[in-house]
Amino acid sequence: MSRYFTEDHEWVDVDGDIGTVGISEYAQSQLGDIVFVDVPEEGKELTKGDEAAVVESVKAASDVYSPVSGTVIEGNPALADTPGLVNEEPESDGWFFKLTLSDPDELSGLMDEIAYAAFVEKL
Protein backbone atom coordinates (compact mmCIF):
# COMPACT_ATOMS: atom_id res chain seq x y z
CA MET A 1 0.00 0.00 0.00
CA SER A 2 1.26 3.47 -0.87
CA ARG A 3 0.35 6.73 0.89
CA TYR A 4 0.26 10.12 -0.82
CA PHE A 5 -0.43 13.62 0.52
CA THR A 6 -1.81 16.90 -0.83
CA GLU A 7 -0.76 20.44 0.07
CA ASP A 8 -4.22 20.75 1.69
CA HIS A 9 -3.20 18.00 4.14
CA GLU A 10 -5.36 15.18 2.83
CA TRP A 11 -3.83 11.73 2.47
CA VAL A 12 -4.80 8.81 0.29
CA ASP A 13 -3.71 5.22 0.86
CA VAL A 14 -3.78 3.31 -2.42
CA ASP A 15 -4.26 -0.45 -2.56
CA GLY A 16 -4.83 -1.60 -6.14
CA ASP A 17 -7.49 0.74 -7.55
CA ILE A 18 -8.99 1.60 -4.14
CA GLY A 19 -8.05 4.79 -2.32
CA THR A 20 -8.79 5.50 1.34
CA VAL A 21 -8.84 9.23 2.13
CA GLY A 22 -8.37 11.15 5.37
CA ILE A 23 -6.66 14.20 6.82
CA SER A 24 -3.14 14.33 8.20
CA GLU A 25 -1.99 14.53 11.80
CA TYR A 26 -0.96 18.13 11.05
CA ALA A 27 -4.44 19.04 9.76
CA GLN A 28 -6.29 17.61 12.75
CA SER A 29 -3.89 19.39 15.14
CA GLN A 30 -4.67 22.71 13.42
CA LEU A 31 -8.43 22.10 13.64
CA GLY A 32 -8.57 21.24 17.34
CA ASP A 33 -11.35 19.12 18.83
CA ILE A 34 -13.49 17.75 16.02
CA VAL A 35 -17.22 17.68 16.79
CA PHE A 36 -18.83 16.76 13.44
CA VAL A 37 -17.85 15.07 10.19
CA ASP A 38 -19.95 14.84 7.02
CA VAL A 39 -18.64 12.19 4.61
CA PRO A 40 -19.70 11.73 0.97
CA GLU A 41 -22.38 9.21 0.04
CA GLU A 42 -21.65 5.93 -1.70
CA GLY A 43 -21.78 6.35 -5.48
CA LYS A 44 -20.78 10.02 -5.50
CA GLU A 45 -18.45 10.86 -8.39
CA LEU A 46 -15.52 13.03 -7.36
CA THR A 47 -12.96 14.86 -9.45
CA LYS A 48 -9.52 15.58 -8.01
CA GLY A 49 -9.83 18.76 -5.92
CA ASP A 50 -13.61 18.50 -5.40
CA GLU A 51 -15.04 19.25 -1.98
CA ALA A 52 -15.73 15.74 -0.70
CA ALA A 53 -16.39 16.02 3.03
CA VAL A 54 -16.81 18.58 5.79
CA VAL A 55 -15.14 18.52 9.17
CA GLU A 56 -16.23 20.84 11.98
CA SER A 57 -14.20 21.55 15.08
CA VAL A 58 -14.64 23.83 18.04
CA LYS A 59 -12.50 26.34 16.08
CA ALA A 60 -13.84 26.18 12.51
CA ALA A 61 -15.48 24.21 9.72
CA SER A 62 -13.27 23.02 6.89
CA ASP A 63 -13.77 21.27 3.60
CA VAL A 64 -11.91 18.07 2.83
CA TYR A 65 -10.96 17.82 -0.83
CA SER A 66 -10.60 14.65 -2.84
CA PRO A 67 -6.91 14.07 -3.62
CA VAL A 68 -7.84 11.93 -6.63
CA SER A 69 -10.77 11.37 -8.99
CA GLY A 70 -13.07 8.41 -8.54
CA THR A 71 -16.34 6.99 -7.27
CA VAL A 72 -17.04 6.82 -3.54
CA ILE A 73 -17.58 3.23 -2.41
CA GLU A 74 -17.85 3.89 1.32
CA GLY A 75 -17.97 6.68 3.86
CA ASN A 76 -16.56 5.94 7.31
CA PRO A 77 -19.69 5.12 9.35
CA ALA A 78 -17.84 5.40 12.68
CA LEU A 79 -17.40 9.17 12.24
CA ALA A 80 -21.14 9.85 12.58
CA ASP A 81 -21.13 8.76 16.23
CA THR A 82 -17.46 9.34 17.02
CA PRO A 83 -16.11 12.36 15.09
CA GLY A 84 -13.27 12.62 17.64
CA LEU A 85 -11.77 9.55 15.98
CA VAL A 86 -10.27 12.01 13.50
CA ASN A 87 -8.34 13.61 16.39
CA GLU A 88 -7.34 10.29 17.93
CA GLU A 89 -6.41 8.34 14.77
CA PRO A 90 -6.31 10.82 11.85
CA GLU A 91 -4.08 8.66 9.67
CA SER A 92 -5.77 5.31 10.36
CA ASP A 93 -9.23 4.66 11.90
CA GLY A 94 -10.24 8.31 11.40
CA TRP A 95 -10.37 7.97 7.59
CA PHE A 96 -13.21 9.77 5.78
CA PHE A 97 -14.06 7.77 2.66
CA LYS A 98 -12.93 5.13 0.19
CA LEU A 99 -13.17 5.43 -3.58
CA THR A 100 -12.25 3.58 -6.74
CA LEU A 101 -9.59 5.57 -8.59
CA SER A 102 -10.63 6.59 -12.09
CA ASP A 103 -7.20 8.00 -13.03
CA PRO A 104 -4.25 6.49 -11.12
CA ASP A 105 -1.89 8.83 -13.02
CA GLU A 106 -3.14 11.66 -10.76
CA LEU A 107 -1.09 10.15 -7.94
CA SER A 108 2.10 11.39 -9.59
CA GLY A 109 1.10 14.96 -8.67
CA LEU A 110 0.93 14.17 -4.94
CA MET A 111 3.67 14.06 -2.31
CA ASP A 112 5.03 10.90 -0.70
CA GLU A 113 5.47 10.78 3.10
CA ILE A 114 9.04 12.16 3.00
CA ALA A 115 8.11 15.09 0.76
CA TYR A 116 5.03 15.82 2.89
CA ALA A 117 7.07 15.83 6.11
CA ALA A 118 9.46 18.36 4.51
CA PHE A 119 6.46 20.44 3.34
CA VAL A 120 4.93 20.55 6.84
CA GLU A 121 8.28 21.45 8.41
CA LYS A 122 8.30 24.69 6.38
CA LEU A 123 4.84 25.78 7.58
What CATH number is given to the structural domain containing 70? 2.40.50.100
Whether 27 is in a domain gets the answer yes
Q: What share of the chain is helix, strand, coil (3-state, %, to 5)?
A: 25, 40, 35
What string of pLDDT tens digits covers the 123 residues of the chain? 899 999 999 999 999 999 999 999 999 999 999 999 999 999 999 999 999 999 999 999 999 999 999 999 999 999 999 999 999 999 999 999 999 999 999 999 999 999 999 999 999
Number of domains in the chain: 1
Whether 106 is in a domain gets the answer no
Q: How far apart are CA 101 and CA 121, in angstroms?
A: 29
| Structural domain span for residue 8 | 2-96
